[in-house]
């Protein structure tokens, strides 16, 4: 076979290979939804509802746009996991390691993160309704622009947390540690700060405080005064 005939016969194969490679680059292969829970598992766009995944190692797992409602992740290892736009209705993450996890634009309702490690986690623009963060560690977590209606952060570690422009009506921070937390622009209607030291938070203004609730143990930043309606009723 001469060089010319070789080039002609090889051309279709080369073209097919090039097309295949282009498609692979444009459409990267994701892990199958049937893959077992494991570190770096990719369940993007999967439905993983009402499962018991407690104590599993899913470090750096990918759960983007994944349905996880009713699923249990208690004491699971999920540091660095990506849960953007995931659905977490009545899901449970009690005691889970979620340090550095990404919950941006995720949706949760009546879920439980009690005692979870959320240090440095990203909850930007998340929509969480009646979610429990009791005794959770949210040190340096970013909750900016999120909607946290009636959430419970009782005794949570919130030092350095970014709550800029967060919507938190009727949310509870009783006993929480909030040194260096950013409350600039946060909506605090009937938000409870009973027994909270707010003296070192940033961005808090009197108009916000006047809508919030506290008690005799609430410590205010310099220049702010105790609102006349404190302590608030339990209505």
Q: How far is it, in rounded angstroms, from Cα 50 to Cα 172? A: 28
**What is the reported pLDDT for 30?**
55
| Mean pLDDT, residues 11-32 | 47
Candidate from 15-29, 163-177, 178-192, 198-212 with smallest mean pLDDT: 15-29
Q: Residue range 9-36: average pLDDT?
A: 53
**pLDDT given at position 13:** 46
**Helices (H), strands (E): how many in the chain?**
2, 4
Residue written as tokens 């105790």? 226
Q: What is the pLDDT of residue 32?
A: 84
Q: Does residue 60 or residue 14 have the better pLDDT?
A: 60
Q: Mean pLDDT, to the nearest integer, of 181-199?
A: 98
Asked if pLDDT for residue 1 goes beyond 60, the answer is no
User: What pLDDT sits at residue 78?
Assistant: 98
Give the pLDDT confidence score for residue 45 in this predicted structure: 97
- Read off the pLDDT of each residue in 189-210 and give the average, rounded to a whole number: 98
5 has a pLDDT exceeding 50: no
Instruction: Tell me how crowded residue 135 is: count the other CB atoms within 10 A of its CB.
Output: 18
pLDDT in tens, 112-152: 999 999 999 999 999 999 999 999 999 999 999 999 999 99
Mean local confidence (pLDDT), 50-73: 98
31 confidence band (pLDDT: 50, 70, 90): low
In angstroms, the CA 140 to CA 160 distance is 4
Q: Is 2 exposed, middle or buried (0-12, 13-18, 19+ CB in 10 A)?
A: exposed
Q: How far apart are CA 169 and CA 129, in angstroms?
A: 11
What mean pLDDT comes out for the span 92-97? 98
How many percent of the chain have pLDDT more than 90? 84
- pLDDT tens digit string along 98-115? 999 999 999 999 999 999
Q: What are the tens digits of pLDDT across the range 150-163?
A: 999 999 999 999 99
Position 46 pLDDT exceeds 90: yes
- Per-residue pLDDT band at 234 (split at 50, 70, 90): confident
Residue 178 above 60 pLDDT?
A: yes
Burial 203-224 (b: 16+ CB within 10 A, else e): bbeeebbeebbbeeebebbeee
Average pLDDT of the residues of the chain: 90
pTM, rounded to two decimals? 0.86
| Distance (Å, whole) CA 33 – CA 46 | 6
Cα dihedral 186→188→189→192 (10° resolution): 170
Question: What are the angstrom distances between the C-alpha of 134 and each of 114, 123, 222?
Answer: 5, 16, 28
């Amino acid at each position: 076979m001469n060089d010319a005939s070789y080039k002609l016969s090889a051309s279709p194969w080369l073209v097919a290979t090039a097309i295949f490679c282009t498609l692979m680059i444009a459409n990267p292969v994701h892990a199958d939804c049937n893959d077992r829970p494991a570190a770096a598992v990719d369940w993007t766009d999967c439905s993983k509802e009402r499962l018991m995944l407690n104590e599993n190692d899913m470090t750096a797992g990918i759960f983007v746009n994944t349905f996880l409602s009713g699923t249990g992740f208690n004491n699971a290892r999920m540091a660095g996991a990506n849960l953007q736009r995931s659905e977490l209705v009545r899901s449970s993450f009690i005691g889970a390691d979620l340090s550095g996890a990404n919950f941006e634009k995720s949706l949760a309702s009546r879920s439980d993160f009690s005692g979870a490690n959320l240090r440095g986690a990203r909850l930007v623009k998340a929509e969480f309704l009646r979610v429990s963060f009791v005794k959770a560690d949210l040190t340096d977590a970013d909750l900016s622009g999120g909607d946290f209606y009636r959430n419970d952060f009782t005794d949570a570690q919130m030092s350095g947390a970014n709550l800029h422009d967060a919507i938190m009506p009727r949310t509870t921070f009783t006993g929480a540690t909030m040194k260096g937390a950013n409350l600039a622009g946060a909506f605090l209607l009937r938000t409870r700060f009973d027994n909270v030291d707010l003296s070192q938070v940033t961005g808090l203004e009197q108009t916000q405080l006047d809508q919030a609730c506290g008690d005799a143990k609430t410590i205010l930043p310099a220049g702010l005064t105790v609102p006349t309606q404190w302590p608030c009723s339990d209505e």
